[in-house]
């Protein structure tokens, strides 16, 4: 199987994760969703590392980057994104979460001294236009505030900052599975600490209905992470990254099919998702410009 096809499967996996989380949130909350996601991911990744890798990496200076990254993502990024799904729906939150490459490009300019070309600026315009379309309110639609739409955008910003830290760590230990294991473990510890100190332990409980959907979401998220790293390892980054960021298209498509009774997917959202992906592809493919 080619790296490009694996990257597309990764994008589809993240979209499927959003759909299952949306179903599960009808009878539960984001803390239970995150707990399931973390536990499944940690169990799978740590089992793989213990079986195949020496644990000497725990003494590496790269751990500090991973720990700081874990304090940001996935806990805060995923919490904001899941709450965004809860407030404005998957069809809107998914594409807005896809603005991460925009923040990544901005970080490259400010902190790495990169000089993007006109293609990047044109991609930025497309992304801004897509945000306007997706967040535009229409008559008859469920009421929500503009601040609700900022949640998945903030998730994208935090994710971009976290990825910058991971880049530094991967330069020391070039093993993405180590990154996933450490940052997810840190996030789980922080979440449990927050829940216990604020007396919200009851929110970690879920009924059988939510358990099924959150477990399915967690499995898809774990597989999507693995597919992401396999694709990056086997293919050219300039070709793989644009494909990984096609998740908003699959999110909107799956929302239209499976969430018809929960959400409205209109022409504005579909057009916004298309513009979003077009802008992401332009920005992440700037090496060809």
pLDDT digits (tens, 9 = 90+) for 253-276: 888 888 877 777 778 788 888 887
Confidence (pLDDT) at 89:
83
Report yes or no: 23 and 261 within 8 Å, Cβ to Cβ.
Answer: no
pLDDT of residue 108: 67
More confident residue, 227 or 131: 227
Highest mean pLDDT (candidates 102-111, 153-162, 237-246):
153-162
| pLDDT tens-digit map of 2-36 | 787 888 899 899 999 999 999 999 989 989 999 99
pLDDT over 90 at 51, yes or no: yes
Q: Looking at residues 174-202, what average pLDDT do you find?
A: 89
Ranking 162-171, 204-213, 221-230 by mean pLDDT, the lowest is 162-171
Q: What's residue 212's pLDDT?
A: 95
Say what the pLDDT of residue 289 is: 46
Looking at every residue in the chain, the average pLDDT score rounds to 82
Q: Give percent of the chain with pLDDT exceeding 70.
A: 86
| pLDDT (average), residues 129-141 | 64
């Amino acid at each position: 199987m080619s790296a490009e096809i694996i990257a597309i499967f990764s994008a589809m996996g993240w979209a499927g994760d959003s759909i299952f989380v949306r179903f599960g949130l009808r009878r539960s909350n984001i803390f239970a969703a995150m707990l399931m996601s973390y536990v499944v991911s940690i169990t799978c990744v740590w089992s793989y590392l213990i079986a195949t890798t020496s644990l000497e990496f725990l003494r590496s200076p790269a751990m500090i980057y991973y720990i700081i990254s874990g304090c940001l993502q996935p806990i805060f990024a995923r919490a904001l994104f899941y709450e965004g799904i809860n407030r404005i729906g998957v069809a809107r939150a998914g594409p807005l979460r896809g603005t991460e490459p925009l923040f990544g490009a901005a970080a490259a300019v400010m902190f790495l001294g990169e000089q993007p070309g006109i293609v990047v600026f044109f991609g930025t315009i497309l992304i801004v236009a897509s945000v306007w379309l997706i967040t535009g309110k229409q008559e008859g639609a469920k009421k929500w505030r503009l601040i609700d739409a900022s949640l998945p955008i903030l998730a994208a910003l935090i994710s971009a900052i976290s990825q910058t830290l991971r880049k530094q760590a991967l330069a020391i230990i070039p093993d993405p599975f180590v990154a996933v294991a450490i940052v997810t473990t840190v996030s789980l510890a922080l979440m449990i600490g927050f829940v216990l100190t604020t007396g919200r332990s009851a929110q970690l409980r879920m009924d059988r209905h939510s358990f099924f959907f959150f477990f399915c979401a967690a499995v898809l998220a774990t597989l999507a992470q693995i597919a992401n790293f396999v694709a990056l390892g086997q293919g050219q980054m300039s070709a793989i990254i644009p494909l990984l960021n096609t998740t908003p298209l699959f999110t909107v498509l799956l929302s239209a099919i499976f969430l018809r009774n929960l959400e409205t997917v209109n022409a504005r959202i579909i057009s916004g998702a298309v513009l979003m992906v077009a802008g992401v592809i332009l920005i992440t493919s700037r090496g060809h410009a």
